[in-house]
Amino acid sequence: MTKPRICIISPVTPYPVYHGAGSTIYGYIRALRQDFDILFAGFCPERYRARAQEGLDQLCHKAWLFEPPLGRRLDAFSPTPFLFSNLESDVMQRAVDRILEEERPDLVQVEYLGIAKYAERARCPRIVRAHVLEWWHYYLNWQRTKGFRTRLENLFWCLDSIRHNRRTLQSFDRVLVTSEPERDRALELAPTARVEALPFLLLDCDYFRPALDPPAEPQMVFVGFLPHTPNEEALVYFIGQVLPLVRREEPRASLVVAGEGASNALRGLMHDNGVEYLDYVEDLRETYHRSRVYVTPINSGGGIRTKIVEAMAAGVPVVSSSFAPVGLGVQPGHHLMVEDDPAQAAAAVVDLLRDEDRWRRMQFAGRSLAENCFSLERVGPRIRARYRQFLEEAA
């Protein structure tokens, strides 16, 4: 029996998973491929191209990969916001137009508001997965950050994104967001849009099995794609402001960082402060099993912090800023510890390094959330059923 076809257009490759956004797409492809033939088109750096093509050829019916654009371009007359200008590629646009014409998919799904234009010529129902609406994050940044220039930049990005998002949300047949609060914000922008909240991240929780006992050593772990400015800023902040306070109470405490692309300055900072840098780690399970606390002091940027859910699935209690888990539906103090003040964040880390009972309670709560809300095994069938309904409703 011929399966219906869904064409997924993405700013990152879902395999190998080196980027948080890629992990969200990877889980959806694994879930949907049982009922759909997947056509995938997206950007992929040259260093991953061969492996990515090989992996996607096994996951998808067909896959096309393209070199990412060089960077952002400021153009006051462009309808594309400055923050999305690094996703514009004439080569990929022409190729996607040809794919849509020749392959004739039954559904088209865009994985990012910034690449919505690639689906403009689709002749079938179109879905956009709006990870976390960018304007809301930049609005929060505008409220939180200091310095006139930084605040002005975030205000400009917020207003620019609102203009683009409103037009984009109204133009798609379906808009999928991360949570009900996110849905409310989308409808404030575009009241006529067909917005629905579905789990954004599908993880193989059997793959990320937690350790049975707390690690013996007081190790913390930070995971992130380090060329991404919010990740670098968060790590610099943690090393400078929080880590010394943790070590004052727990001198044996160590910090391990996993993630490609650290700048020379950041590498020097880590070296000078006794932080172990692992660079890119494809399989993080051993690192998670050796770590007692996962730290994510992110305070800017957009998107969903997928690594928070991954750490929970792996059984590592999380200490986070209040900004980082937006859109995940977590309960502070139960699923994870949320602290913005450096001294309180350090106290939360030290508590989890020392208190085994609290560590076990938080491990259980985080793992349960990952299993119930983000598990490929439990949530995947619901996602497949909803996508079949999209086709039926369109027909």
3-state secondary structure 272-324: HCCCEEEECCCCCHHHHHCCCEEEECCCCCCCCCHHHHHHHHCCCCEEECCCC
- Name the band, by pLDDT with cuts 50, 70 and 90, for residue 72: low
pLDDT, one tens digit per residue, over 208-231 is 889 888 999 999 999 988 887 888
Q: Which of 116-130, 294-308, 324-338, 368-382 has the lowest mean pLDDT?
A: 294-308
Average pLDDT over residues 183-203: 88
- Mean pLDDT (the chain) is 88
pLDDT higher than threshold 70 for residue 75: no
Pair of tokens at residue 374? 């983000």
pLDDT (mean) for 20-24: 75
> 270 and 152: one domain?
no
279 with 361, same domain: the answer is yes
Q: Are residues 257 and 173 in the same domain?
A: no
Between 187 and 295, where is the model more confident? Answer: 295
| One domain for residues 276 and 311 | yes
Residues 32 and 156 in one domain: yes
Confidence of residue 295 (pLDDT cuts 50, 70, 90): very high
Does residue 313 contact residue 370 with C-beta atoms inside 8 Å?
yes
| Structural domain containing residue 62 | 5-202+376-394
Q: Are residues 10 and 83 in the same domain?
A: yes
Higher-confidence residue of 323 and 143: namely 323
Range with the poorest average pLDDT among 108-117, 188-197, 303-312: 303-312
Q: Are residues 368 and 380 located together in one domain of the fold?
A: no
pLDDT tens digit sequence for 93-141:
999 999 999 999 999 999 988 888 999 999 999 999 876 556 666 777 7
- State the pLDDT at residue 81: 59
pLDDT at 146: 77
Count of domains forming the chain: 2
User: What's the pLDDT band for 242 if we cut at 50, 70, 90?
Assistant: very high
116 and 256 share a domain?
no
